[in-house]
Structure formats: structure tokens, C-alpha cells
Amino acid sequence: MSSAVYPPFVKFRPLDRSESRWGFLIDDGRKIGACDPFLTLDHVLTAENPAQYLAELATSTVVELPVESVRILAPIDSQEVWGSGVTYHRSKIARQEESKSGGSFYDLVYTAERPELFFKATQFRTVGPNGSIRVRNDSNWCVPEPELTLVLSNKLEIIGVTIGDDVSARDIEGENPLYLPQAKVHDGCCALGPAIVPLAALPEKHATKITVEIVRDGATLVHESTSLDQMKREFTELAHWLGRDATFPTGVLLMTGTGIVPPDDFSLIAGDLVHISISGIGKLTNSVVKG
């Protein structure tokens, strides 16, 4: 894992153009230092030393743009997004409670050597800041799952972190564990952003707060927080298991699980706003649609 430090790395699209590109947030977030327009995250995550490469790119940007002149996009190109389950005790309890079959297997996986890992999304099903996450038409109990997300190189080294929202249909997941892919994977099921930052940008685990706020018609219905020290698994442990007999030629993003579960009587509906904040990274805001 490299100790190289770089400014927040973002994917963006100028408002007057259709092409996306990559750059760095500079001048306290008021400007974007744009990189060569041909640069992609694929190039970064396949470099010999990706974090050092990012640090060098930050000193050689080609143009500066006011941040209000661009739209920030999800920080992903050809990468897959994977998820980790039951990495917090709160998540274990919630999934046992939702399960119609009792959920003893959630208790087993929480203490097992092998973690729960699952495919989540590709760029096509992923939205960025201010994009719309989606509730499945056939779900009546859907929640956001705020998660610190690892950005891994093609060698599964941790290059940086970002914010992720693993949108999940709890009623479908709870009906039968074999329905997990349907509960997790659908259009608009994943949100990422706003930036990739080096792991060193995070404070100590106990001080790295993960917070979700859900607003409906101007009123806050859910406001909960946890801290990274409540996570049972280590980042490197999850990356190690993800790479067992699986390769990721252009890198991969790995959500590390959630420690926040809204009350059982709460479900997202169209028009809600979801705000997820993580210390050292920033805030990811998304609206909600259904169907």
C-alpha cells in the first residue's frame, strides 16, 4: 500500500460538453485541475505504482475549471463494484431479523474466516453525486446502506477510498437468501462519490464517522452514524478474499459493509433525499426514484 498522497480525484463532465474526464479538486474545492482528456481510471489502476502516479498527475494538470462549471460523476470507468456483507454487528442483527428462515447463517458468516462477498454493479447501474438511486418496482422495503468503499488496483492494492451506497431491497433479501442478487443488483442500485481520496486522508478509525441522513418533504426522518472502528473485518482481509481465484484487469471497487440500518418501519420512497457523509472524504447526495 503506497504512502503517496494526492488531492481528491474526481470524474466530471463540463456542463457545456458531453465527454467526461478526470481531474483533482483544488483551491479548497473551488476548482478542478483537469488531467489529459484521454486519462481514465483504468490507466491509473493498472499503473506500476497507482498512488504515486496520481500524486505525479496532480502536479501536471492541463487546465483549471470552476467547480460550478462541471457535473461531478461517479468515480468509475470499466471497473466492477463488489460488496461485503455482515462486516458490522449491527448488520448481522438486522439481516437475522429480516430473514424469514431465521438467519442463523448470518451469525455464522460474521464469525467465519471467509467473509460474504457479492457482485454489486458496473458503471451502467451506478450513479454519482446528485444522481437518482432507484427502488425496485417489486420492493416495498428498500434502504440505503452507507459504506466506505475501497478503490483497488489490478493487483488488489488499496489506492484510495470513496463513499458508496449499496441500495438494498430488504424484503426481497429477507424472503430467501437465494434472492440476494435481485435484492442487490438492478438499475440505479449503486451510488459512488464524490471523490477518490488516499487512505491517509481518513482520521483514526474511531474518528472516521459514517453518517446517513434521509430527508422527505424537507423533514429529516433518519439521521444515524457509526464509526469505522465498529467494523469487524480489515480492508486488506476483504481485498485478499476478493482476489481468490478472481482477477480484475482494470481494478475494482469494493464496498466494505454497513454499520447503519434504518428502523424496520422505514423504506425509501420516490422523492426522498439521501445524504451520506464519511470523515475525510466528503458527502454523497442522491435523490430517490421508483420504477
Per-residue pLDDT of the chain (291 residues; tens, 9 = 90+): 556 899 999 999 999 999 999 999 999 999 999 999 999 999 999 999 999 999 999 999 999 999 999 999 999 999 999 999 988 876 656 556 656 555 566 667 778 899 999 999 999 999 999 999 999 999 999 999 999 999 999 999 999 999 999 999 999 998 998 999 999 999 999 999 999 999 999 999 999 999 999 999 999 999 999 999 999 999 999 999 999 999 999 999 999 999 998 999 999 999 999 999 999 999 999 999 998
From residue 254, alpha-carbon distances to 38, 238, 242 in Å are 25, 8, 9
Assess if residue 4 is contained within a domain.
no
Cell matching residue 134:
432507484
Q: What one-letter code names the amino acid at 15? A: L
Assess if residue 193 is contained within a domain.
yes
Taking a C-beta distance cutoff of 8 angstroms, is the pair 232, 106 a contact?
A: no
3-state secondary structure at position 199: helix
Taking a C-beta distance cutoff of 8 angstroms, is the pair 32, 12 a contact?
A: yes
Do 188 and 91 fall within a single domain? yes
**Count: domains in the chain:** 2
Model confidence pTM above 0.85: yes
Q: Answer with the one of 73, 108, 124 that is the final residue of a domain.
A: 73
Do 247 and 281 fall within a single domain? yes
* C-beta neighbour count of 71 within 10 angstroms: 16
158: burial class by Cβ within 10 Å (0-12, 13-18, 19+)? buried
Alpha helical stretches, state H, 12-169: 41-45, 50-57, 89-98, 104-111
Taking a C-beta distance cutoff of 8 angstroms, is the pair 271, 216 a contact?
A: yes
